[in-house]
A and B are shown apart, each in its own frame.
Chain A
Amino acid sequence: MRVPLGWVRDFVDVELSPAELARQLTFAGLEVEGLEFVGLPLPGDGERPECKVTGFAWDPELVVVGDLLEVEPHPRADRLVLAEVDHGAGVEVTVTGAPNLAAYKGQGPLPVPLKVAVAREGALLLDSAQKEPTPRRLAKAKIRGVESRAMICSEKELGISDRHEGVIVLDADAPPAGTPLADYAGDMVLDLDITPNMVRNASILGVAREIAALTGAELRPPSIEVEAAGPALDGRLEIDIRDPQLNPRFTAMLLEGATTGPSPYWLQQRLLLAGQRPISNVVDVTNYVMLEMGQPLHAFDYDVLVERAGRSGAVAPTIITRRPEPGEKLKTLDDVDRELDDFTVLVADTAGALSLGGIMGGQESEVSDGTTNVLLEAAAWDLYNIRRTTLSQQLSSEAGYRFSRGVHPALAGRANRRAIELMRRLAGGVVAEGMVDARARPLPRTVVELPAAEVERALGVPIAAAEAVRILEALEFGVESAGDLLQVTVPDHRLDIGEGTIGVADLIEEIARIWGYERIPETQISDTIPPQRANPEVELEERARDLLARLGLQEVVTYRLTTPEREARARRPGAPPDERRYVELRNPISADRRVMRHELLPGVLEVAAANARQRDSLALFEIGPVFLPADGEPLPREPRRLAILLAGGREAASWDRQEPPSYDLFDLKGVVEAFAADLQLPPLTAAAGDHPGLHPGRAARLELAGTPIGALGELEPAVRSGYGFPFAAVLAAELDLDRLLEAIPQRFAAVAVSAFPPVVEDLAFEVGEEVAAAAVEQLITVAGGDLLREIELFDLFRGEQLGAGRKSLAYRLTYQAEDRTLTDAEVAGVRRTVVAAVERATGGRLRE
């Protein structure tokens, strides 16, 4: 919301400096995002506001009000004129091509001089030929042989707006020639960010009320007196509200015999500074009063309504507010043919829809240059329904913005009176007596009982009752004190104050923000301490992160939104498709982020592929939820997963090792095993198994005490090349983190370090290729019993001596007892058991 301060001053005196005004408004919840100085000097360094400051100052000596005395043809150029201007310190001939002066050409001295904005030689102006504001000093110029030392300015040259089609023609009551223009037309515009609860302050009056409350100055509300001399409106217009919930009030007033034309300059300038384009006096008044009071208005051409009423034989039009008929459409002012939802409220008459109630007018009944009889609408609408409609129609308008945040029905009557009178003064004509006022659902006044003690209970600081009353009354609340209780009546411009405890909180906020958040002290909580709880779910997840980083892995965090296609890239050709349902967005912002992920790995693979261009080695992990819809449940399950990826060199290349050995499956398996061991988990068991993204011969399913907890392996080559990896192998694991973390024991016992010497011996078994190493190790472990302390596969050998389809697995066994030195006979006994067990179960034999 752009708020010209000059306009605010109609309703309140403002003594604060710009910086202090911006600061106080910002702290009170009306964030000042910028100050724009129009003609007035910008604040100096010592007085710098904290917001953005822009603007362009006019030299008081050189940019002044001028009297345009006569317009003569230019001797050598048809499109230019010579304008004789009195700038208070003399008369200059200026050369201009302004089309709005052409009409005065050759009329001789004007009977009443035109008031214009004159810049004299040396003045700093904005270059009208540049798109961006570019200051340029006005120099003496010779235009087609005529010398000129002054210029009549356009708005663009003065930074008022970007209009440059003609020069500014000020109102006839402008001050005498030579008056500094800044004194008359200079202003400062506040750019406010209005929060949704404060739409009452999306108005000049609202801002003025806030300033009055903050500074203690008196508020002077605008006049709503109407000079109505025409025949009564009663009987010449009916209003029929069909849904009082959605349209609580509809008011109408009529101005007859008006003359449409441009608005006076002061009004145009205010609209421009507030960000609205002037159109014509009738339309400008509706915008002006909306900006001033916060009540949107709509002007109909009354004659069109009468004509439409005549189609069904009626003399007087009837305004009907209703929901649409099935299939009904409306062409709005923005030239869009709109399909209407069944909840839309239309302003219609007997001939059909006229406008989208509270949002935008329709084309047929809008006022035009030829309009003489203006019917002015000011109504109240249900804020939720207006917002629903603007969302559905994807239509934003100043009216829709205000109504969707809540405009009090009481404002309609005041604003209509204010606007019709202003329109009469600007466009002439006669106002019809009376207002047609349909109050379908009167809103009772809200009264809140505020116990004085509540203020201190909420804020932690006592605020004197008198001060609270002053603040509330300045904001136009009605207050009656009854002992320690304030009876507070909510003013009829606010819909944001609730009843009961909510109303109490609402009032305390009002008191606190005007009294000043800065004055509330800083204290320590002295309240009861909550019961303390363990938080293993969070602690263990963070521990997992630490352990993975300690294992040399870089954590990544990827988008949780993806597409089924992206996830399918991580599946090998021919793998069964992922047929699980997705959490799918109804309104994705882009086609490549439209479902919540099922897996972590596809995202990690994308990260790895993107980094493969810069890195010849990658070791990554991600921890996070995946989203799995469950049948019959509206919300998905969100189990936590862990993905690990290794690719490229096992270590970084260096100047003497250009190509370090690459990661392979057993590096990944080692990482997973070390991670599990560090979490004190029981050993994971791995078995060859199928996984949709992994090489079928190089994938392992992992189990923890019989429960599946994920898979690891080498990415299937077609998948790998699908991502364009330059590596010979990419190793990947995806694990069920929830299950892993749940399996972590509460505690574990440390194993004593034996003081007695170990016996170490090597045993090599020759077995068939089909025998899994883990199976042999398991046999040895079981057969070795308590005395077998450690077992390590130290060699895997295949060769001609063994023959095809055979392999040799060599293990180093460490025997040790805690309480004695083992004898040769004891060790030999264990060895015999181990050898017999392996030979019997695998059909292999011990190699001597």
Chain B
Amino acid sequence: MLDQLKRAAADALAELAAVDAEAELAAWRSRHLGKKSPIKTLLGGLGALDATERPQAGREANLAQRRLQAAFDERRAALERAAHEASLGAEALDVTLPGRLPRRGRLHVSTLILRRIAAVWAEMGFQVYRSRDVETDEYNFQLLNFPPFHPAREMQDTFFTTEPDVILRTHTSPGQIHVMRERCPEPIRVILPGMCYRYEQITARSEIQFNQVEGLAVGPGIRMSDLKGTLTDFARRMFGPDTRTRFRCSHFPFTEPSAEMDIECFLCGGDGCRVCKRAGWLEILGCGMVHPVVLENGGYDPGRYSGFAFGMGPERIAMLRHEIQDIRLFWGNDMRFLEQF
């Protein structure tokens, strides 16, 4: 009997080792663990045994039964694992295929540079003030100390409209008069961003419309040294903490003294390169102390108040930063250009 038990168990295990499919496994289970399995059958013959052999035979039979169940469980888990792995393998993807790009919206490069400039000035206490594109000759020129037929008007080729004395602003400086007249006698610290227009041929270097950001500080004690300090701070924040600046004498009718601010070329660090045309310096903005006539036109007594003003071209700054060779790209709006920003 014990021999028979051992043989039956050994046969069943050998058979199980060969099973490698779900259906076969079920068949093996009903054959060897079911009611009519060889071990159950042998167990059924237990009563025929001698009473002294019976307990041991019973134990052996139960042991064999448990061993077969354990072997079955293990086999089933192994088969399931194999099947799972096989199915994962079948699901494999070529992960080197390109990803599907989501639809991304972006801001125009001019908006981005305007925001960057505005953000730096905002932290320095200069708030955005906007005024209109279509202006009077009075605000665009006369109140800014350009009388009619003044030679300095030559520097700003103007689009005139069919309405007498109405023009497209050539700079955002009319905003200086607007903001002064609105706020006098408060101190003022504003930047004046906006689109300007010049009567120019559209070429790689010149456009009929372009953004400008002017700035204006007016108060009882604003000095040219403040202008230098403030604009140098701006340059360091805009172009890098080690940026060096220099101020050259220049001329704008609405400031006096007037200056051009250059920054050390951020591409070559001043050694001279293509971008700075070998000079090592880049012309970045015009600036100066607000002309007494302009202060007065804004309502401020030039004997008691002073101020500084500055103006820069965001597109020019973007062109320098990103080595853009052609200003026409800005309003051309080619997606292949805009999507780079």
With A457-B223, A509-B258, A561-B208 as known contacts, state yes or no: A584 contacts B103, CB within 8 Å. no
Check if A586 sits within 8 Å of B250, measured CB to CB. no
A481 within 8 A of B: no
Check if B149 sits within 8 Å of A388, measured CB to CB. yes
B162 within 8 A of A: yes
Digitize A625-663: 1 where CB-to-B-CB distance is under 8 Å, 0 elsewhere.
101010000111010000000000001101101000000
Check if A520 sits within 8 Å of B149, measured CB to CB. no
Check if B162 sits within 8 Å of A584, measured CB to CB. yes
Q: How far, in Å, is A460 (CB) from chain B's closest CB?
A: 3
A29 within 8 A of B: yes
Closest to A197 in B: B251
Check if B97 sits within 8 Å of A459, measured CB to CB. no
A197 surroundings in chain B (CB, below 8 A): 151-152, 251, 253
8 A Cβ contacts from B176-209 to A? 183, 186-189, 195, 197, 199-202, 208-209
B16 within 8 A of A: no
Closest to A195 in B: B251
| Segment of A292-300, A498-506, A751-759 engaged in the interface with chain B | A498-506
A548 to B220, CA, bound (A): 43
Check if B149 sits within 8 Å of A611, measured CB to CB. no
Closest to A530 in B: B187
B201 surroundings in chain A (CB, below 8 A): 589
A587 surroundings in chain B (CB, below 8 A): 159-160, 199
B153 surroundings in chain A (CB, below 8 A): 387
B111 within 8 A of A: yes
A569 within 8 A of B: no
Residue among B132, B208, B220, B253 making CB contact with A527, cutoff 8 Å: B220
| Segment of B50-58, B65-73, B287-295 engaged in the interface with chain A | B287-295
With A197-B251, A525-B230, A560-B195 as known contacts, state yes or no: A509 contacts B257, CB within 8 Å. yes
Check if A559 sits within 8 Å of B331, measured CB to CB. yes
8 A Cβ contacts from A555-593 to B? 555-561, 583-590, 593
Q: How far, in Å, is B246 (CB) from chain A's closest CB?
A: 7
Q: How far, in Å, is A444 (CB) from chain B's closest CB?
A: 20
Check if B134 sits within 8 Å of A627, measured CB to CB. yes
8 A Cβ contacts from B318-341 to A? 330-336, 338-339
A404 within 8 A of B: yes
B173 surroundings in chain A (CB, below 8 A): none
Residue among A406, A557, A654 making CB contact with B110, cutoff 8 Å: A557
Residue among A405, A528, A590, A634 making CB contact with B166, cutoff 8 Å: A634
Check if B133 sits within 8 Å of A501, measured CB to CB. no
B3 within 8 A of A: no
B92 within 8 A of A: no
Check if A556 sits within 8 Å of B224, measured CB to CB. no
Check if A552 sits within 8 Å of B333, measured CB to CB. no
A195 surroundings in chain B (CB, below 8 A): 250-251
With A29-B248, A31-B248 as known contacts, state yes or no: A586 contacts B161, CB within 8 Å. yes
Check if B128 sits within 8 Å of A635, measured CB to CB. no
A326 within 8 A of B: no
Residue among A51, A548, A652 making CB contact with B105, cutoff 8 Å: A548
Residue among A387, A552, A553, A655 making CB contact with B149, cutoff 8 Å: A387
B165 surroundings in chain A (CB, below 8 A): 634
B278 surroundings in chain A (CB, below 8 A): 50
Residue among B111, B155, B225, B334 making CB contact with A460, cutoff 8 Å: B225
Chief secondary structure at chain B's binding surface: mixed
Q: How far, in Å, is A691 (CB) from chain B's closest CB?
A: 24
With A387-B149, A589-B199, A607-B333 as known contacts, state yes or no: A652 contacts B101, CB within 8 Å. yes
Digitize A765-786: 1 where CB-to-B-CB distance is under 8 Å, 0 elsewhere.
0000000000000000000000
8 A Cβ contacts from B259-302 to A? 259, 277-281, 289, 291-293, 302
A596 surroundings in chain B (CB, below 8 A): 133-134, 168
B209 surroundings in chain A (CB, below 8 A): 559-561
Check if A638 sits within 8 Å of B133, measured CB to CB. yes
Check if B280 sits within 8 Å of A50, measured CB to CB. yes
A484 within 8 A of B: no
A732 to B226, CA, bound (A): 49
- Residue among A28, A196, A525, A551 having the largest count of chain B Cβ atoms under 10 Å: A525
Interface size class of A (residues with CB under 8 A): 35 or more
Check if A525 sits within 8 Å of B217, measured CB to CB. yes
A760 within 8 A of B: no
B219 surroundings in chain A (CB, below 8 A): 525, 527-528, 530
A533 to B186, CA, bound (A): 12
A234 to B333, CA, bound (A): 71
B243 within 8 A of A: no
With A530-B188, A589-B208 as known contacts, state yes or no: A545 contacts B107, CB within 8 Å. yes
B45 within 8 A of A: no
Q: How far, in Å, is B328 (CB) from chain A's closest CB?
A: 11
Digitize A495-535: 1 where CB-to-B-CB distance is under 8 Å, 0 elsewhere.
00000011011101100110001101111111111111101
Closest to B148 in A: A384
B214 within 8 A of A: no
Digitize B97-127: 1 where CB-to-A-CB distance is under 8 Å, 0 elsewhere.
1101111111110110001000000000101
Digitize B235-252: 1 where CB-to-A-CB distance is under 8 Å, 0 elsewhere.
000000000001111110
Check if B247 sits within 8 Å of A557, measured CB to CB. no
Check if A615 sits within 8 Å of B335, measured CB to CB. yes
A538 within 8 A of B: yes
A161 surroundings in chain B (CB, below 8 A): none
A651 surroundings in chain B (CB, below 8 A): 100, 102-103
Closest to A522 in B: B229
B188 surroundings in chain A (CB, below 8 A): 530
With A587-B199, A611-B333 as known contacts, state yes or no: A524 contacts B230, CB within 8 Å. yes
B76 within 8 A of A: no
A587 to B157, CA, bound (A): 11
Residue among B164, B202, B248 making CB contact with A517, cutoff 8 Å: B248
Check if B223 sits within 8 Å of A458, measured CB to CB. yes
A461 within 8 A of B: yes
With A530-B189, A638-B132 as known contacts, state yes or no: A405 contacts B151, CB within 8 Å. yes
Q: How far, in Å, is B138 (CB) from chain A's closest CB?
A: 10
B225 surroundings in chain A (CB, below 8 A): 459-461, 520-523
A269 to B313, CA, bound (A): 41
Check if B247 sits within 8 Å of A518, measured CB to CB. yes
Check if B100 sits within 8 Å of A652, measured CB to CB. yes
With A196-B155, A554-B106, A558-B333 as known contacts, state yes or no: A593 contacts B232, CB within 8 Å. no
B130 surroundings in chain A (CB, below 8 A): 537-538
B91 surroundings in chain A (CB, below 8 A): none
With A384-B150, A457-B223, A635-B135 as known contacts, state yes or no: A554 contacts B334, CB within 8 Å. no
A311 within 8 A of B: no
B102 surroundings in chain A (CB, below 8 A): 552, 651
Residue among B133, B223, B291 making CB contact with A627, cutoff 8 Å: B133
B125 surroundings in chain A (CB, below 8 A): 529-530
A629 to B230, CA, bound (A): 40
Closest to A382 in B: B149
Given contacts A557-B331, A558-B333, A586-B161, 9 further A-B contacts (CB under 8 A): A31-B250, A384-B147, A387-B150, A504-B292, A522-B229, A554-B105, A560-B197, A596-B134, A638-B133
A-B contact pairs, 12 of them (CB 8 A): A51-B279, A198-B251, A517-B259, A527-B226, A528-B220, A538-B128, A549-B106, A559-B331, A586-B161, A596-B133, A611-B333, A634-B166
Residues of A within 8 A of B (CB): 26-29, 31, 50-52, 195-199, 383-385, 387-388, 391, 404-406, 457-461, 501-502, 504-506, 508-509, 512-513, 517-518, 520-533, 535, 537-538, 542, 545-546, 548-561, 583-590, 593, 596, 607, 610-611, 614-615, 617-619, 625, 627, 629, 634-636, 638, 651-652, 654-655, 657
Closest CB pairs A-B (n = 4): A460-B225, A460-B223, A29-B249, A195-B251
